Amino acid sequence: MKTKFTILNDPTARNHAYMMSKWAIDIEYACPKCGKDRVVTWLFPDQDMLYEDECCNQIVHFEGFRDEGN
């Protein structure tokens, strides 16, 4: 199941992440199990990102998108 998210910073506020990918963004989402607010940097938002969140060891899946404005 895809995880809903909100973009916090576009581009990312993290200099190291920005040096790795100029497309990196910071996003906020809720843990799929407990609902706790979580934040992560997504290096390549035009590609899906899938990983195990450390909060409750749940898989989160963010669907990639393209910014039509650029």
CA distance 60 to 41: 13
pLDDT, block means (10 residues), the chain with 70 residues: 95 94 97 97 97 96 80
Cβ neighbour number for residue 55 with a 10 Å cutoff: 16
CA distances from 17 to 10, 12, 20, 36, 40 (A): 12, 7, 5, 24, 11
3-state secondary structure of 26: strand
The reported pLDDT for the residue numbered 69 is: 56
The reported pLDDT for the residue numbered 66 is: 82
